[in-house]
A and B are shown apart, each in its own frame.
Chain A
Amino acid sequence: MARRYSALALVREGITGHKGWVRAWEAPEPRRRYDVLVIGGGGHGLATAYYLARTHGITNVAVIERGWLGGGNTGRNTTAIRSNYFYPESAALYDLGLRLYEGLSRELNYNLMVSQRGNLQLAHSLHDVDMGARLVNAMQINGIDARWLGPEEVHSLVPILNRGPAARYRVHGGIFQPRGATARHDAVAWGYARAASRLGVHILQGCAVQDILIEGGRCVGVRTPLGEIRAERVGMAVAGASPALAAMAGFRLPISSYTLQACVSEPVKPVLNTTLISPPLGTYVSQSGKGEIVIGGALDRMPSYAQRGNLPVLSQVLSGLLEMFPDFRQLRLMRQWGGTVDVTPDSSPILGPSPLPGLFLNCGWGTGGFKAIPAGGTLLAHLLAHGSHHPISRPFDLDRFTTGRLIDEGAAAGIAH
């Protein structure tokens, strides 16, 4: 029985005909009652279940998922991991995610293909240079690795970047975070699912929430096609579906759901060894381990749950990409898709108790949830285990929209939406 993945197990199974592999996670019959129920089998939900079992010793836990594991935004993003934010609260949150990612493959015994190739954010004007220097300073004060690169350094790091006299968007420099990374997104969901299942967590796929059970003003579970499932505490990590789930629970959230689209080209030889973002052009690009050019960009311009992108934004993103990388004109696109992202007014996530006692929130990550999966899981697990905040999640409570103490990364770190 090959329960643990290793080179030795691979050789042994290769010799014996690959008959000894076991299911990566179990498909159990649901119990009627759990200590903790997590709604949403994406990265954040599965990570929450894993940390509940591993860190807090709570193993009577179920994760319920409407579709399949990692089929939402976990499997639809462009896999950039970074912590280049402005405010100390955000730096603490996103760097927790990045630090946990650094050791996660070993911890989960699952190859997440975390590749720390650095993240580069380009400056195309003198205003961008001023704002970039300010962000580099803020990051360094927050203890995050950050360097300002001049135009020559940027061009030597990314030689295929357009720099001829005809280049429309000249590069004046860039913010570089050397620890910035990419990872294999499916593996993050599967790795957490496998590790959580080993610790006794129930993972229930194809199980949609039909209603939230409320008794005595408290959330006591959910109704599903598999019957009622009750729990002491319930956590939700459902991204774009958060407003609908909140409506079932009888409250409203400061969240709008938009489509964020992405696409990949056919695989080519290595040409780009960093994750590159150009905020003014609204373009995000990296090269996957297989050689595909992975392209993402700005939000679509209207609220949507369609999980497919509209043409105007795709056309704008690709125009920006081809202006920066004229060599990419000959590439053919293989796939294009969209995910439904949950955007808050200050572009920061919401973590904490909901207005309904017994129900806890992990939502509002907008376009940046993937990088924070280990952090979101750690913090929601803490909330579900203790009923109260971890110091890192406290500033991200829903109450900031009433007190006015927003963490406006939309303005501060130049998130385009």
Chain B
Amino acid sequence: MQSFPCPFCGPRPETEFRHDGEAGKLRPALSCTDTEWSLYLRARTAARGPSREIWTHLPCMETFVLQRDTLSHRVGEVAP
């Protein structure tokens, strides 16, 4: 069992957390094309290695950005 850092509760077991997607996506203007909207909704960078992700700590419902390595599973900096 891996420990994940919650900015509110501190280190907690990984099963208390939910992965909510990649960080840094910006919603395009509503006047965008169907292709741009589809890319925003569904396309992924799916980085191999360092990745910025959105996670939620389910017991306290704190949502935050976590630096995580998808190859080594090492977790790094956390930002609310």
Contact = CB atoms under 8 A, between A and B. Distances in A.
B39 A310 contact: no
A15 interface: no
A310 B2 contact: yes
Interface in B1-45: 1-2, 14-15, 18-19, 34-35, 38-39, 41-45
A310 B42 contact: no
B36 to A, nearest CB: 9
A305 B71 contact: yes
A283 interface: no
Q: Which of B46, B53, B70 has the most CB of A within 10 A?
A: B46
A403 B34 CA distance: 8
Contact of B46 (A257, A301, A306, A311): A257
Contacts, number: 65
Given A303-B19, A304-B73, A243 B2 contact: no
B78 to A, nearest CB: 15
Contacts of B2: 310
Given A243-B46, A302-B19, A303-B46, A252 B39 contact: yes
Contact of A401 (B15, B38, B68): B38
Interface string A147-187: 00000000000000000000000000000000000000000
A243 B47 CA distance: 8
Contact of B14 (A243, A256, A310): A310
B19 A301 contact: yes
A345 B43 CA distance: 9
A254 B19 contact: no
Contact of A252 (B15, B45, B70): B45
B43 A254 contact: yes
Given A301-B19, A306-B72, A312-B14, A243 B45 contact: yes
Contacts of A257: 46, 48, 70
Interface residues of A, number: 23
Give the secondary structure class of A's interface.
Answer: mixed
B46 A402 contact: no
B67 interface: no
Nearest to B73: A306
Nearest to B2: A310
Contacts of B48: 241, 243-244, 257, 305
A345 to B, nearest CB: 5
A233 B45 CA distance: 25
Given A310-B14, A402-B34, A305 B70 contact: yes
A155 B38 CA distance: 46
A255 B46 contact: yes
B51 interface: yes
A310 B75 CA distance: 14
A255 B46 CA distance: 7
Nearest to A355: B35
Interface string A312-329: 100000000000000000
A301 B56 CA distance: 13
B79 to A, nearest CB: 18
A342 to B, nearest CB: 9
B45 to A, nearest CB: 7
A247 interface: yes
A253 interface: yes
A301 B53 CA distance: 13
A311 B1 contact: yes
B70 A402 contact: no
Contacts of A345: 42
B44 A256 contact: yes
B34 to A, nearest CB: 5
16 contacts: A243-B44, A243-B46, A243-B47, A252-B39, A256-B46, A257-B48, A301-B14, A301-B18, A301-B19, A303-B53, A304-B70, A306-B73, A310-B14, A312-B1, A345-B42, A401-B38
Interface of B: 1-2, 14-15, 18-19, 34-35, 38-39, 41-49, 51, 53, 68, 70-73
Given A243-B47, A303-B70, A304-B71, 16 more contacts: A243-B45, A252-B43, A253-B44, A253-B46, A256-B44, A257-B46, A301-B14, A301-B19, A302-B53, A303-B19, A303-B46, A303-B53, A306-B70, A401-B42, A402-B38, A403-B34
What are the nearest 3 A-B pairs in CB distance?
A243-B46, A254-B42, A252-B43
